[in-house]
Structure 1
């Protein structure tokens, strides 16, 4: 039988969204114990395993507390069934904020970082804290290659062009396989061309069947559509705080300097350029080192 990429969607059992990642040498998943230390909270979009944050967690003195959207059953189901109702950005932010509050993390200095769609949810968490008068403890808001929820980037599902989706899928496939897939976006015509490139570069084994590739692409596309549906109609007001935009060398929208966040930050944006692409940035040691410096050394205050 010809080898196939792993394409089976896995529905996680319901569990708490909030987990803690610590250095392996520290032996566990303890939250930071120093009362005055700034903790880091990350909002994970669920496309890749949450363990991709471990290298960053090991560089942070307090570890990293993770709000994993892949643990929300309704969010996962909507990525498997296009007819299922989707949770809104506000509902997802409510879930995360409830657990952060229960863990006592919003009562101490903390930084909030969201990756991809997780950055949109992170922004809503910050907005909710500000509205409730609890935003003084949130000392940094960082988004990792997240597309801002502004009118210019809200579009119907059919506006996600095949060329754009194939380019994004190539990045995703490389990240899943632990091997960067180098492609020319302009030359990608279809999945067969992408499969040929993946086999030629050793990302997929020889003999991988096109049907397996199509199944994996279908699951990937369904996840993007789900996130698009979650964000539809969500047009938040700007916040009076600085947003730090982290852009990898190969961003989802390479022609957009700020991914729309300039419209939502009442103060000048901070920018950080890092190695890697949208899906592999957290696998790059230089990226995790730069992020750790940013999240621990950014000036206190909003």
Structure 2
């Protein structure tokens, strides 16, 4: 992997470095932790926070190597990223947690959820996995090995990054190291079998997403003993940008149904295992 010019520091372990909270929601009954896609940043989820607060307390993960963490070294594997963010996420568990991860963020959210359950935490209220095939469904991909032009072409194909930024050499030089590192992390990830999660899992996909088929999305049901739901939206890999209001409303409706008994941290409510297309 290429290394960013200048002196890089090791990723911070401070809670404030990892977690961004854009709106106050002190009386919310559930907290939604959002994990960005490859090359993405916490601010991607600002609209989610704005819409769901104060009913839901939204926290977004900020990976090292981007925005205000540009001086910190990128983390190049999913297990290392999950281990690094785990303490910050654990500190948020004073109320029921739900996770939302898009693309690489879905895999990372899954691995953090596994670690929480391994350490004895209550199951998540929901695990939302967006735009990503199940961990057990592997594809051989090597985007992280492409030159800069090839990497830019891939980003443009998926429409995940503003084309005007990719056309600016200075902005591109700032963006690509984090993107390449994230692609390396997710493309070299291999699922290690173990205990299934116990939380409800909701898979969300675009019906024209080249990164995940319907069957690959349905396979998320194998990774938890809890309820499963598949929701299909019109669009490609970044369907959630084009249809942001619909996706966020679906989250709002779903999280409003979470019922937590007084004094308990577990989850009640939730549908059975279903396969339903969004309309």
Q: TM-score range by the shorter chain?
A: 0.5 to 0.7
Specify the alignment match of 1:294 in structure 2: 254
- What is the match of residue 103 of structure 2? 116
* Cα contact 2:144–2:183 (8 A) shared by 1: no
Verify the 8 A CA contact 1:119 1:142 in the aligned structure 2: yes
> What's the CA shift for 1:128?
1.5
CA contact (8 A) 2:38 2:104 kept: no
Note if 1:65 corresponds to 2:59: yes
User: Contact conserved, 1:74 with 1:87, CA < 8 A, in 2?
Assistant: no
Residue by residue, what CA displacement relative to the aligned partner does 1:137-186 show, whole Å, maximum 9, x if unpaired? x2111111123322x4153638999xx988853344x4433xxxxxxxxx
Distance 1:135 1:170, change over 3 A: same
Indicate the residue corresponding to 1:157 in structure 2: 142
276 and 267 in structure 1: CA distance in 2 versus 1, 3 angstrom threshold: same
TM-score normalised by the chain length of structure 1:
0.63
Q: CA deviation at 1:282?
A: 3.6
Q: Deviations over 1:10-36 (max 9, x none)?
A: 9899561111122xxxxxxx3x312x6
Q: 1:224 to 1:122 in 2, by over 3 A?
A: closer
Aligned residues: 244
TM-superposed deviation, 1:270: 0.7
Offset at residue 280 of structure 1 (A): 5.1
**Counterparts of 2:156 and 2:48, CA distance in 1:** 24
Specify the alignment match of 2:263 in structure 1: none
Matches within 5 A, 1:52-201: 52-60=44-52, 61-70=55-64, 77-78=73-74, 86-102=75-91, 105-136=92-123, 138-150=124-136, 152-155=137-140, 157=142, 168-172=154-158, 174-177=159-162
> RMSD between aligned alpha carbons?
4.2
How far is 1:111 from its partner?
Answer: 1.0
1:251: which partner in 2? 209
In 1, the alpha carbon distance for the partners of 2:100 and 2:161 equals 22
1:116 Cα shift? 1.1
Uncovered stretches (5+) of structure 1, i.e. residues with no partner: 1-7, 23-29, 79-85, 178-202
The structure whose Rg is larger is: 1
Offset, 1:244: 0.8
Unaligned runs of at least 5 residues, structure 2? 260-266, 271-279
Measure, in 2, the Cα distance between the counterparts of 1:215 and 1:280: 26
CA contact (8 A) 1:17 1:69 kept: yes
Contact kept in structure 2, 1:113 and 1:143, CA below 8 Å: yes
The structure whose residues are more often helix, as a share, is 1
**Distance (Å, rounded) in 2 between the aligned partners of 1:119 and 1:142:** 7
Whether 1:222 and 2:207 are equivalent positions in the alignment is no
Task: Report the counterpart of residue 198 of structure 1 in structure 2.
Answer: none
Q: Greater relative contact order: 1 or 2 (C-alpha under 8 angstroms, separation 6 or more)?
A: 1
Matching residue of 2:43: 51
